[in-house]
Amino acid sequence: MSTPSPVETLSRHELADLQLTKLRQAVDRALSTSHYQAKLAGCGIACGEDLKTLADLRKLPFTVKDDLRQAFPDGLKAVPQSEVVRMHASSGTTGIPTVIYYTRADIDRWTELGARSAAATGCTSADVFQNMMSYGLFTGGLGLHYAAERLGMMVIPAGGGNTQRQLKLMKDFGTTVVHATPSYLLHVYDQLAEFGVDRKDLKLQRAFVGAEPHTEDIRCRLEALWGIQVFNSYGLSEMNGPGVAFECVHRAGMHLWEDAYLMEIIDPDTGEVLPEGAEGELVLTILDRQATPLLRYRTRDLTSIIAEPCACGRTHRRIRRIKGRSDDMLIINGVNVFPSQIEEVVMKTAGVGSNYQILVKKDGALDSLIVRLELDAPHFSDDMRDLEALRSRIAGNLMTSISLKPKVELHEPGFLPVSEGKAVRVIDERPTLPEGPEGSCP
C-alpha cells in the first residue's frame, strides 16, 4: 500500500495558501508573454499580486485551443529559447497544432506528478512498466516514461501497436504494469490466442488506461478478462500530458493534483462557474510551468468534482470519469481528430466534390475511421488505376494531417445524402455502453 507524499495530504487550507502563492507567480509569468499581455489587458489584473484570493481567478479570461493556435509558435513562450528543453504538440482544430514548451524544471515537475500518480496505484520499484502509448509529439509516451523511471520501475518503451511484439515483451521481461488506451488493451487480450500466448505465462497485475473516454463497464471488462486492476489516467498536452489526474488504489475517481493545477467546472454554454459536484466542462490552470503558462484553459472535457475525502488519505479532490466533450473533437484509438482537419485535406484535393462523410465505428476492440468522398463528375469515369492513386494520395495526406490512416472510399456524384440545413458530416457508430457508478466492478 502506497504512502501519500506530504503535499498530497496537506489540509485544504494549506493547499489553498500554496495555490494562491503559485497562482500569482503563474499570472506574472503569463504576463511576460505577448499573448497574455494582450489578453489580460482590461481585466483589472496587471500583476499576480492583484489577485487577493483564489476566487479572483474568475476575473481572468478563459484560454481556449484557438488561443494556442493564434499564439503559434512562440506567442505563449515565457522563457528564453536557451531554457527550453522540449516541446510537444497536439492536434489543433485545423492544420496548426497546439505547441507546449518545457524547461528542465517543467519536465522535472511533470515527471514528479506522474511518479506520484503511479505510486498512488500501488506501483513500486519492483514493477516492470511496459509503455504501449506512442512516443513522439504526442505526450502519452514520454510523459509516463520518465515518471515510471523516477519511481524506479524498469521501463519497456514499447510504444504503440505491434501486438505480437508487445506480447513477447510482456512474456520475456515479466511486465507487471502496462500503460495503454483501453481499446488497445482489449485488443491485446483478443489477440492472445492468435499469437499463442497463455495469460498464465504473463505477470501482468495493473494497467493505466487513458487518452480516450471509456465507461466503468469497460474497466470492469478489462479487469475481469485480464484479472488485473485497471486505473483511469487523465491528462492533456496543454496541461503537460498524462499525470494531471489519476486513480489511487481505491479506483473511485481520479485525484487531480491540486498543488499543480487549479480546477473549475463551468457551464460550457455560458462559461458560468458551477458549484462543486455539478457536471460541466473542466477548466484548468497550470500553476508551475515556466515555459508555457496557461490560465483557465478550457479542456472541453465533461466531468464533475468529487469533494468527499478519499479513503487513501489524499486531500486532493477527485474528478469523475470523463463523460465526453463539449466540442466536436473525435478520439479515435486515443488520437484526437477534429472533423475540420479532415475537411481541410478533402477540400484541397482536386477531383473530389465538397460533400463528404466521416464514419467512426468499432472493428473488434479498436476504432476504425472511414472517410467517404464523392468524386467530381469528370473524375468518376477515370481509369481504375487513377482512382486508386487518388484514393491512396488522399489517405496519405490525411495521415500526414491527423496521424491516423483512414479508409478512404470514393463514390459517384450524388452518393452521399444531401443535407437540408446543417450538414451531418460525422457518424459515430461506436456503441455507448450503460454507465455504472465509479468503482463498481465486482
Binding at 402: pick from ligand ADP, Zn ion, none (beta carbon under 5-8 Å per type): none
312 binds Zn ion (CB under 5 A): yes
297 binds ligand ADP (CB under 6 A): no
Q: Given the rule CB under 6 A, which of 60-68, 198-206, 207-215, 399-407 is the region that contacts ligand ADP?
A: 207-215
310 binds Zn ion (CB under 5 A): yes
Cell of 288: 508551475
Give me the DSSP letters along 151-173: HTPEEE---S--HHHHHHHHHHH
Q: Given the rule CB under 6 A, which of 211-219, 338-346, 406-414, 417-425 is the region that contacts ligand ADP?
A: 211-219
Q: In which residue are the cell numbers 484479472 written?
A: 227
**Nearest residue (CB) to ligand ADP, 221 versus 372:** 221
Binding at 312: pick from ligand ADP, Zn ion, none (beta carbon under 5-8 Å per type): Zn ion
Q: In which residue are the cell numbers 495503454 written?
A: 180
Per DSSP bridges, beta strands 407-411 and 366-375 are parallel
Cell of 215: 465507461
Cell of 277: 459536484
Cell of 126: 519492483
**Nearest residue (CB) to Zn ion, 121 versus 333:** 121
Q: In which residue are the cell numbers 470492469 written?
A: 220
| Count of Cβ atoms closer than 10 Å to residue 223 Cβ | 16
What Å distances lie between residue 96 and 69, 341, 395, 406, CA to CA? Answer: 6, 9, 19, 20
Cell of 230: 485497471
Sheet holding 426-428, edge to edge: 407-411, 366-375, 352-363, 426-428
Selected from 26, 147, 204, 248, the binder of Zn ion by CB under 5 A is 248
DSSP structural state of residue 225: H
Site for ligand ADP in 236-275 (CB under 6 A): 236-237, 241-242
232 binds ligand ADP (CB under 6 A): yes
Selected from 90, 131, 240, 355, the binder of ligand ADP by CB under 6 A is 90
Cell of 356: 463528404
DSSP run (H or E) holding 27: helix 12-30
Site for Zn ion in 249-278 (CB under 5 A): 250
Binding at 322: pick from ligand ADP, Zn ion, none (beta carbon under 5-8 Å per type): ligand ADP
183 binds ligand ADP (CB under 6 A): no
List beta partners, residue 426. 358
229 binds ligand ADP (CB under 6 A): no
301 binds ligand ADP (CB under 6 A): yes
**Nearest residue (CB) to Zn ion, 1 versus 384:** 1
299 neighbors 324 (Cβ within 8 angstroms): no
> Distance (Å, rounded) from C-alpha 116 to C-alpha 173?
24
**Nearest residue (CB) to ligand ADP, 387 versus 426:** 426
**Nearest residue (CB) to ligand ADP, 24 versus 317:** 317
Q: How far is the CB of 259 from ligand ADP (least distance, A)?
A: 20
DSSP structural state of residue 133: S
- At 350, the amino acid letter reads A
Selected from 213, 339, 351, 413, the binder of ligand ADP by CB under 6 A is 213
**Nearest residue (CB) to Zn ion, 314 versus 425:** 314
**Nearest residue (CB) to Zn ion, 254 versus 291:** 254
Selected from 290, 299, 333, 341, the binder of ligand ADP by CB under 6 A is 299
What Å distances lie between residue 398 and 184, 342, 344, 430, CA to CA? Answer: 22, 7, 9, 21
Site string for ligand ADP, 117-156 (x = CB under 6 A): ---------------------xxx----------------
Which residues make up the interface to ligand ADP (CB under 6 A)?
90, 138-140, 210-213, 232-237, 241-242, 299, 301, 322, 325, 331, 336
Which residues make up the interface to Zn ion (CB under 5 A)?
248, 250, 310, 312, 314
